[in-house]
Structures are given as structure tokens and as C-alpha cells.
Structure 1
Amino acid sequence: MSSILDLEIFVRTADSGSISAAARALELTPAAASIALKRLETRLGIRLLARSTRSMRLTEEGRRYLESVRLALAALAEGEQALKQQTQGLSGVLQLAAPSDFGRNVLLPWLDDFKREHPHIQFQLLLNDRHADLFRETVDVALRFGVPSDSTLVALPILPQHRRVACASPEYLARCGVPLTPAELSEHSALLYLRDGRPYNQWRFSRGEEVMEVQVHGDYLSDDGEVARRWALAGHGIAYKAWLDVAADVQAGRLVALFDDWQGESVPFNLLCPHRVQVSERVKMLQAFLQERCEALRR
């Protein structure tokens, strides 16, 4: 039976592509990490990593074995947490990725409340509009808008019925006029952001069976969704944002939601995990907590 440390070294090396980086992460010397990998390969009788003087990559056998090791280590960690929680309540590290706008302006105060309920929880938070790779990055779960593009991920629903909304500040609408239908958006300044590396300038709306897709344009483009919302608050144009991102602004009158008879694009909100075994008690409690908070903001 391989030691847990040998398995952890293998996973860290595979993820980083470097024995030295794996050794640093586990507070070992590179020599000790290299010996552990050789010991693991000798016990298995296979080559897990193909090494050269300049690079390192997983062999096909190593790739298959890696997923089994991830599951085994996750199950061991969850078992340890279950024992701890019997005596001290919910505890442990929760590594969470979230979209920048929702993360900074909605999620942060909610996590403060969650921690007050569960003081032994430790958060590691990654805020970025780029989707985190849950199989390679040090992230347990990720909050994401939209239908998951990877069908192998486990999607835990937070707000299944959720949509984008077109919105602008009262000042902008007073200055430039209120568009009465989505088609009129082409005559207005759209506040754009990048999605999957491309400007998101095709805005989709529906009314019953009728569907309308409008190509918009504007002078403002950012790679950060929060910036688009801030530009809207500053009166620079019309933003097309997830309702959860702008709910507080609309309710406070800082932004006005447009087109009461048209619905924006459907963007279900999910908590994603790479494997079912990683749906720990911490994750389940966070899912229930976020469901309650998001339902309270439902439009």
C-alpha cells in the first residue's frame, strides 16, 4: 500500500508539472519528493511520469491513475472532517471560486455571516471571471452562472430559475431616453465585457414563444463583469447582467431594470464540484445557505 504522502506528492507534481514545486508545497526537499515518486512507480510497476531534462508530463497510465488518487485522497479528507465535525461542528478549509462582481459585492458579506454560524470554517476565495479549472487548480467548488459546459462536473443548484437583466442608471435614461423594446438597444451605448475571451455583444431576450437577439455596441469594454456594473452606475450606458449582480442596485434605485414584458437570457446559478465524493458536509451546508440567500433576492 502506498503512503498518503507519496500519493499527495504525485498529485501535486502532476498538477504543477514540477517536482520542486510539489516539494515546496509539502515542505519537503526535491530529493525527498523524487524518491517518493520513484518508490510509488516501483510499487506499481509502471511509469507514471515521463521526464526529460526540460519537461515532465503524465504517461497514459499516470493520467488514469491520477483520477483514482484524487478520489481516494478526497475520500480520506472527508472521512477525517466527518470525525472532527462530530466533536466540534463544521470545520476545515473551503476553497471556493466565484465570479468577480457577485463575489466582491454579494458573496463577501454572506461568507461573513456563514463563518459566524460556523467559526471553524476557513475560506480560500478565488475571484475571477475566468472559469477555474476544478481538475487542476486548488479549488474545491466554484460558483458559476449558466449551464455547465463540462458534463462531468457535479452541479449543485443554487438558483435554477435565474436570468440576465438589461439595466441602466436613472441619469442615463433621463439623458438618452428609455428603450421600450430590446430592438432599441442597438441605438444605445452598451457596456460590454469579455466572455470566453470575446466581447459579449449578442444580447438575447424572450417573450413567451418569441425570441429576440440584439447585437449591441458601445465604447466601453472590460474583462471584469464588475466594471460593467460600475460603468452602468456611473451613467455610461446599459449593462446586461445577471440579476443577482444588480439586484441590490435595482432595489435601491441606483439602477433601473428595463423591459418588464421581456425576459433576459436564462443563466442558472450552480455550485460546481469536480467529483461527487467532494460534495462534503461543508459544501452541502454552503449550498443550503446560498440557496436561502439567493431565493430572497429572486426577481
Structure 2
Amino acid sequence: MTLDNLQDLSIFAKVVATGSQSAAARELDVSLAVVSKRLALLEKQLGVRLLNRTTRQQSLTEEGQLFYASCVRILAEVSEAETQLLLHRDSVSGVLRINAPNAFGRRHLVPLVTTFQARHPQLRVQLDLTDAVIDLVEGGVDVAIRFGSLPDSSLFARELAPNYRVLCASPDYIARRGLPQSPAELVQHDCILFGEQLVTEWQFHDESIKVHGNIVTNHGEAAHELALCGAGIVLKSIWDVGADLDSGQLIRVLPEHAIASAPLHAVYLHSRHLAPRVRQFVAFVSEQLQQAWRWDPAPKLRVAASGQNRRARVSGI
């Protein structure tokens, strides 16, 4: 026999505590008929009489005394569990599992994680930096920071801050090879590609240029370093290369030609009932990144005559 209705236990305990069914009904704000019916059903389910009742008084049976003691303990434990859950629901604690791209995570996210965790010392953070797009469920990830649009409709995303991608190369490379004057001239240049393919397409305005990689890497920071070393032209987020453009270590290539956007998103599995650690971390990162934004807006991307515009998929870089 199992009891699956805590309300019955609460009614029984209230009847004993108040001394009568009518008093219990008043305190519980239910009808006397409801109290009487629930007590009868409880005794039927248990197979024993809990209360000896007359028109003027009631008293606990021996079985009722034993059961009442258990009810008080059970209801107290349930109340304590609810209290702890409410406290946990409103506190930033537990383990926050974050996934982010290598370069962006190291440069921009690590300082924010440090500050956020210092503000919430009960929080533990597991930060996974990888350029691969991992499955949030399989990886046990609470929130992932990603560039690009959201291809998986089962996920939810919040745009964190402005972002656009740029082509850039080192002054040494530009001195040796010159600056391309149009996207079409990229086919004559050395290009550093991210991924596994030696050939890819870079989307400009209403045209797509097929470029060949003289070097291909699966690591976003490696692609960045290769560009700094003069290996060729690379396509990167402004967040990754903005400081190098400001210092002159990299030079913007074809700045007047907009490239398909790659918004910066926080991605998570559920949009409702987010744990406070996730909700507050995403809000904190968004606020800090928007304050840190210092670059000019990206040129507008013109839509092709066909009305179709390729959307950049979520990626690690």
C-alpha cells in the first residue's frame, strides 16, 4: 500500500492538531464534507481506523497515534525540502557548465567567468573551450557561447552583443602579395581556412567566392596565429582580431565588402525555468560584452536578387 496524496496526510494531521474536523475545515478553508470524505478514504486505504469519532469528541486510536507521529515527521520533511528548493531556486549556486570557442573564451569569457564566480562564491564553473560544436545534451552543457545563426530549432538562443566577421592579413603578407581590390581577386591569394576542407565559400553581398586554402586548420586560434605570421588571409570574428586591427598587427582586407553575419549567441536547451546560475550568467555576459563593444558597425549585407541570403550557421569561431 502506498500513499500518493500528501493532502490526505495534511488533513488528518490538521484534524488531530485542531481537535475536530470542523476546526480543521476552517483552517484549511475547505468544506467539512471534504475533510470527512478524505479521512474516510484515508482509513479505507490504510485498512485501519485512525480516529474514534462521536458527535462531541474525537480521540486517536492506537494505530492513529502511530500514524500521526509519522505524518508529522513526513510533512515536516516535505516542508523542509520545499524550503530548500525555494532557496536553491533563487540562489546562484551549484555547477555551471559552459562551452565556448577557444579564442573568444580565452580572451573575453575567462575574465567574465572569474568576476561572476567571485560574486557568487557558492557557484562552481566548468568551462570547456573548444572550436567544435558539441551536443548540449550529450555534453551536459548548461549554456554554450556560439557565433552564427541557430540551425537546431530545438535549442534556444539569446543574442549577447554585436558581432561581424572580417577578412584580415598581416602587414608582411600585404607587402608581399598586395591587397585584393575585389572579392573575386581572393582566388589569387593564400587563404587560411577553418575546418577540414581545402576549398570553401566566403559569402559577400550577393556573390559567393570559392576560395582555396593554402593552410587549413581545425583550431580557431591557430588560424589567427597563422595570419599574424603572414601565412595568408583569414576570416575571423571582430571579437577575435579587433585588438590586432587596432594595433596594426593585422590589416583589414576588403573592408567595404560586407560578409554574411555571425551573431554572438548564448545557446541553451530550455527558455523557461532556467536555473538562476544560467539566467544570471547570460544576463551578466550580455551586459559586459555590450559595454566592451568598441568597433564600428558592420556594412549592411545586401540580399541577392533572388531574395535568398545564406545564413551563417552556428560555429565555434
- The TM-score normalised by the length of structure 1 is 0.65
The unaligned stretches of length 5 or more in structure 1 are 2-78
> Equivalent residue for 2:140?
138
What are the residue-to-residue correspondences of 1:144-223 with 2, within 5 Å? Answer: 144-159=146-161, 161-194=162-195, 198=197, 201-206=200-205, 211-223=206-218
Structure 1 residues 80, 100: CA separation in 2 closer, same or farther (over 3 Å shift)? farther
Structure 1 residues 278, 132: CA separation in 2 closer, same or farther (over 3 Å shift)? farther
1:143 and 1:254 map into 2 onto residues whose CA distance is: 26
Tell me if structure 2 keeps the 8 A contact 1:193–1:200.
Answer: no
Aligned-pair distance for 1:177? 0.8
More strand per residue: 1
Counterpart pick for 1:94 among 77, 93, 96:
96
> Equivalent residue for 2:230?
235
Structure 1 residues 146, 265: CA separation in 2 closer, same or farther (over 3 Å shift)? same
Aligned-pair distance for 1:290? 2.0
Tell me if structure 2 keeps the 8 A contact 1:244–1:294.
Answer: no
1:110 and 1:199 map into 2 onto residues whose CA distance is: 36
Given residue 95 of structure 1, which amino acid in structure 2 is its aligned partner? R
Structure 1 residues 80, 155: CA separation in 2 closer, same or farther (over 3 Å shift)? farther
Tell me if structure 2 keeps the 8 A contact 1:189–1:237.
Answer: yes
Aligned-pair distance for 1:202? 0.7
Aligned sequence identity (%) = 37
Aligned-pair distance for 1:221? 0.7
1:98 and 1:200 map into 2 onto residues whose CA distance is: 26
Considering only CA atoms, is the larger Rg found in Structure 1 or Structure 2? 2
Aligned CA-pair RMSD: 2.4
Aligned residues: 214
> Equivalent residue for 1:297?
293
Aligned-pair distance for 1:170? 1.6
2:108 and 2:181 map into 1 onto residues whose CA distance is: 29
Instruction: Look up the SS of the partner of 1:102 in the other structure.
Output: helix
> Equivalent residue for 1:60?
none
Tell me if structure 1 keeps the 8 A contact 2:198–2:213.
Answer: no
Aligned-pair distance for 1:80? 5.6
